[in-house]
Amino acid sequence: ALHRSRPNPTRSLPRGSLGWPLLGETLEFIAAAYSPRPESFMDRRRLLHGKVFKSHIFGSPTIVSTDADFSRFVLHSDARSFVPSYPKSLSELMGKSSILLINGPLQRRVHGLIGGFFKSSLLKSQITADMHSYVRRSMASWPESAQPILIQEQTKHIVFQTLVKGLIGLQPGDDTTFLKREFQQFIAGLMSLPVKLPGTRLYRSLQAKKRMSGLLKKIIQEKRNRNRMFGPTVNDVIDVLIGDASGQLTDELISDNMIDLMIPAEDSVPVLITLAIKYLSDCPLALHKLEEENIRVKENKSIKGEDLQWDDYMSLSFTQDVITETLRLGNIIGGIMRKAVRDVEVKGHFIPKGWCVFTYFRSVHLDESIYDEPLCFNPWRWKEKGMSTSNFTPFGGGQRLCPGLDLARLEASIFLHHFVTNFTWVAEEDQVVNFPTVRMKRGLPVRVTRKKVACELQPYTRADT
Ligand code: HEM
């Protein structure tokens, strides 16, 4: 009894300040988040209190982790200890059955089905071919020099088409255009005030989701009918989910999840590509090396009369290093929020039930004791460094590790390949904004010139022969 009544030295909260009543340290956090160095909020507290500290942000007492092992432990714990935590407006919009919110066996089932499909050879060859054609079509319409194109918009358009094809099976056309328009309405409310009355932002977003859901349910019904008549076929994620025999995946759950699945993908992949192009514009040496690698493989392939396949893209080692370095430096998802559903102890720190934990990857990715000159874009550093450590987690980790991570890499590689082999370009001045989401302030305007070598975008004309 004597032993139990003694305060347990390992059960102490991390050091830190909870700030003002109600507001906590939210204003300081947001001020830093809007600046070019969002991690300055963490840096200051890290110096004072250590890599794991307590704070109070967005209405909740929160333990902020800039410690890779601590974060790893949290992300690898299951729903008995931690569950995802999103701002209220976001959870309203996603609904109760969203993959981003559900826990336990159903989350593992949906995650497994989606992840499995994204790894299948069918998806790989199909999505590579689809993306090729969308990229070519878009690039063929680009104006030369006089008028800049906005990389962020162009990539958004292409990535959305690819996503809708992979998830739902729709070719570009009226339905895709409809979904894109409604999806824009939908995400506009993700960071809004949690008030659902008619006329509010959140209300309009929910209406847009309803309209998307209507179309998706119709598509699901058509697919179910097709399967009944001709037997099951699997071409997209909806096909995978309606093929699940458990009976748990209702039309409602599937259609909602198709929309929620677009949230982590729709914005982050275009931003990844746009940031890569920004960093390459500022680093001619890396651009040159990337061009060389891509021109070489393009020539090899065209001698054989073949297009590049998924595996060809993934084995372009310098291109992959450019993408890895962009993920490290860009921190498209800076961190992940979890909520403790019971008292938990991690690495000697006590986390009370109901508190949030913010695993902040950005501080790890920019830590100078882990990465030399961390603010410098240096794809070469990955030649020796392994990626599979808890010091590199752009796609999260554990149970909810992003199932789209290879797809994101593929899409970035395809765009970069076609971009650098077909064009020279000059990027206009622009800057990275980090809050509420990472993006380029002006959308990265770029003036392009078509290369004068033979390429698929510029077939030989009579004058050439
Ligand atoms: C550069 C691009 C991307 C980045 C940086 C990224 C990042 C992440 C991160 C950090 C998570 C973990 C969230 C958590 O633990 O709560 C996640 C989850 C997820 N991502 Fe991605 N993602 C990207 C692209 C994609 C793509 C292309 C897809 C495919 C459509 C996708 C689908 C998902 C899904 C479904 C989850 C939730 C998994 C679950 O909770 O079980 N992501 N992503």
Q: Letter for the amino acid at 414? A: I
* Residue 87 pLDDT level (bands cut at 50, 70, 90): confident
**Nearest protein CA to atom 6 of ligand 1, as residue:** 395
pLDDT surpassing 70 at residue 440: yes
* Residue 32 pLDDT level (bands cut at 50, 70, 90): very high
pLDDT score of 1: 32
pLDDT score of 423: 96
Expressed in angstroms and rounded, the spacing between residue 215 Cα and the centre of ligand 1 is: 24
pLDDT score of 2: 34
Residue 268 CB less than 6 A away from ligand 1: yes
pLDDT surpassing 80 at residue 77: yes
Question: What is the value of pTM for the model shown?
Answer: 0.93
Mutation test residue for ligand 1: of 402, 411, 439, the one with most atoms within 8 Å of CB: 402
pLDDT score of 463: 38
pLDDT score of 411: 96
Higher pLDDT, 53 or 6: 53
Phi and psi angles of residue 224, each rounded to the nearest 5 degrees, phi first: -60, -40
Separation of alpha carbons 131 and 402, rounded Å: 20
pLDDT score of 453: 64
Residue 19 lies inside a defined structural domain of this protein: no
Expressed in angstroms and rounded, the spacing between residue 224 Cα and the centre of ligand 1 is: 27
Atom in ligand 1 nearest the alpha carbon of residue 118: 29
pLDDT score of 21: 85
pLDDT score of 189: 84
The owner of tokens 């159903």 is: 106
* Residue 389 pLDDT level (bands cut at 50, 70, 90): confident
Residue 107 CB less than 6 A away from ligand 1: yes
Residue 443 CB less than 6 A away from ligand 1: no
Higher pLDDT, 461 or 189: 189
pLDDT surpassing 80 at residue 4: no
14 to each of 27, 38, 66, 223, 344, how far by Cα in Å? 21, 21, 12, 53, 13
Burial class (CB in 10 A: 0-12, 13-18, 19+), 106: middle
Residue 408 CB less than 6 A away from ligand 1: yes
Residue 335 CB less than 6 A away from ligand 1: no
- Average pLDDT over all residues of the chain: 91
* Tokens linked to 119: 């790894």
pLDDT score of 8: 56
Annotated binding-site residues for heme read: 402
Residue 264 CB less than 6 A away from ligand 1: yes
Expressed in angstroms and rounded, the spacing between residue 399 Cα and the centre of ligand 1 is: 12
**Nearest protein CA to atom 11 of ligand 1, as residue:** 402
Residue 111 CB less than 6 A away from ligand 1: yes
Lowest mean pLDDT among 149-153, 219-223, 330-334, 455-459: 455-459
CATH number at residue 270: 1.10.630.10
Mean local confidence (pLDDT), 264-288: 96
Atom in ligand 1 nearest the alpha carbon of residue 361: 10
CB of 178 within 8 A of CB of 184? no
* Residue 370 pLDDT level (bands cut at 50, 70, 90): very high
pLDDT score of 346: 95
Residue 10 lies inside a defined structural domain of this protein: no
pLDDT score of 452: 81
Mutation test residue for ligand 1: of 338, 339, 395, the one with most atoms within 8 Å of CB: 395
What crossing angle do the helices spanning 317-330 and 405-422 adopt, rounded to 10°?
110
* Residue 433 pLDDT level (bands cut at 50, 70, 90): very high
pLDDT score of 68: 97
Report the 10 Å Cβ neighbour count for 227: 15
Alpha helix (H) ranges present in 304-449? 310-314, 317-330, 361-365, 405-422
**Nearest protein CA to atom 36 of ligand 1, as residue:** 402
Residue 260 lies inside a defined structural domain of this protein: yes
Residue 304 lies inside a defined structural domain of this protein: yes
Contacts of 149 (CB under 8 A, 6+ apart): 142, 143, 445, 446, 447, 448
Annotated binding-site residues read: 402
Residue 3 lies inside a defined structural domain of this protein: no
Residue 246 lies inside a defined structural domain of this protein: yes
- The 3-state DSSP composition of the chain as helix, strand, coil percent (nearest 5) reads 55, 10, 35
Report the 10 Å Cβ neighbour count for 210: 11
Residue 100 CB less than 6 A away from ligand 1: yes
**Nearest protein CA to atom 33 of ligand 1, as residue:** 402
Residue 410 lies inside a defined structural domain of this protein: yes
Phi and psi angles of residue 424, each rounded to the nearest 5 degrees, phi first: -105, 155
Residue 402 CB less than 6 A away from ligand 1: yes
Mean local confidence (pLDDT), 167-180: 95
**Nearest protein CA to atom 35 of ligand 1, as residue:** 261
Atom in ligand 1 nearest the alpha carbon of residue 408: 27
* Tokens linked to 299: 């020539």
Residue 265 CB less than 6 A away from ligand 1: yes
* Residue 7 pLDDT level (bands cut at 50, 70, 90): very low
pLDDT score of 107: 92
Separation of alpha carbons 339 and 361, rounded Å: 17
Structural domains counted in the chain = 1
Residue 8 lies inside a defined structural domain of this protein: no
Whose CA is closest to 81, among 49, 100, 104, 62? Answer: 104
Give strand pairing partners of 356.
Answer: 62, 339
Expressed in angstroms and rounded, the spacing between residue 250 Cα and the centre of ligand 1 is: 22
Query: Collapsing DSSP states into helix, strand and coil, what is residue 369?
Result: coil
pLDDT surpassing 90 at residue 248: no
Whose CA is closest to 190, among 440, 442, 437, 443? Answer: 437
Mean local confidence (pLDDT), 275-285: 98
**Nearest protein CA to atom 7 of ligand 1, as residue:** 395
DSSP string, 244-258: -TTS---HHHHHHHH
Contacts of 25 (CB under 8 A, 6+ apart): 17, 18, 19, 41, 55, 56, 57
pLDDT surpassing 80 at residue 139: yes
Separation of alpha carbons 172 and 160, rounded Å: 10
pLDDT surpassing 80 at residue 428: yes
Residue 394 CB less than 6 A away from ligand 1: yes
Mean local confidence (pLDDT), 191-208: 86
pLDDT surpassing 70 at residue 250: yes
Residue 445 CB less than 6 A away from ligand 1: no
* Residue 10 pLDDT level (bands cut at 50, 70, 90): low
* Tokens linked to 309: 């396949």
Residue 404 CB less than 6 A away from ligand 1: yes
Expressed in angstroms and rounded, the spacing between residue 13 Cα and the centre of ligand 1 is: 30
Give residue 318's domain range.
Answer: 26-464
The owner of tokens 């878009």 is: 138
